[in-house]
Amino acid sequence: MSHTLYAASIQRVQRCELAVPGSSPEMFEKAMKSGADFIFLDLEDAVAPDDKLQARKNIIEAINDLDWKGHGVTISVRINGLDTQYMVRDVVDLVEQCGAKLDTVLIPKVGVYADVYMVEAMLNQLEMQQGLKNKIGVEALIETALGMANVEDIARNGALGRLEALHFGVADYAASNRARTTNIGGLNPDYPGDQWHFAISRMTVACRAYGLRPIDGPFGDIKDPEGYKTAGRRAAALGCEGKWAIHPSQVELANEIFTPPAAEVDKAKRILVALKEAAAQGKGAAALDGRLIDAASEKMANNVVRAAEAIAAKK
């Protein structure tokens, strides 16, 4: 192993992240009770320009008044883009009026690390101004060609500050690359395989290198649960910890996909026991169920066990 290691700053269970428009306050309580680990109340794409200011007020009221923690929910807000006139007041009003109850801020369309730095600098000053004891985390959406071209730099520098996670925003990423697709997160049949594989893998590698959580973005067809599950399983296979839901019906699907099955957890525990017994005998490897297991097997098994323990602790 390298002597340079980036440990995760904050561990959170993030199997499912439910998106809820800030302009639809009637959805907030239902979302809170949906079983999602994370919920982001949206001020950006899901809110029409004329509704931005009211949506911000709705979100501040909901964060203050609803019992998110009591329902096991990590609460986040997707602010407007840095290129809009709304972003500054989004950050200022959120921290000043509900900062003590806000867990993370999700920054859309991050293209360079400086985008993250700007929001971090604002949070630093506002938290000091308000005398907040909690530290609001930052998450970044990688959803443009520019963002993907700079994803390693964003992860490396962001990991030194508040950045906790990167999300793959497939819809805007497709538009930015002029990719031929019409279903958000769906596949083009003309492409021989999964056209999002490279992008998700690159983002995931950057996250794992620098101690961040990789999260897959939305799947647009809420009437296609099998398509959602296929996309989720592929993201999980590449190392993502969770996936967005754009409808409550997708929450259970994500939770199922990103929760290690009992049989997988049991096998991981048996691997750890077998390797411990082998080590006591002065051996660096062992055999389990007819297969060789070694130090690499131990690392993979620990990943499974830790994920299962974190989910169990949340429950």
Write out the H or E segment, with its range, that includes residue 39: strand 38-42
Longest dimension (CA), the chain: 70
78 labelled ligand-binding: yes
Q: Is 94 helix (H, G, I), strand (E, B) or coil?
A: helix
Which amino acid, 131?
A: G
How far apart (Å, rounded) are the C-alpha atoms in residues 245 and 19? 6
Q: What is the DSSP string of 231-285?
A: HHHHHHHHT--EEEESSGGGHHHHHHHTSPPHHHHHHHHHHHHHHHHHHHTT-S-
CA 314 to chain centre: 16
How far apart (Å, rounded) are the C-alpha atoms in residues 108 and 43? 10
* Cβ-count burial 5-26 (b if 16+ within 10 Å, e if not): eeeeeeebbbbbbbbbbbbbbe
Angle at the Cα of 123 from the Cα atoms of 120 and 124, rounded to 5 degrees = 85
How many Å is the Cα radius of gyration of the chain? 20
- Among residues 267, 193, 171, the alpha carbon closest in space to that of 237 is found at 193
Residues marked as binding for substrate? Answer: 78, 143
Residues marked as binding? Answer: 78, 143, 172
Residues marked as binding for Mg(2+)? Answer: 143, 172
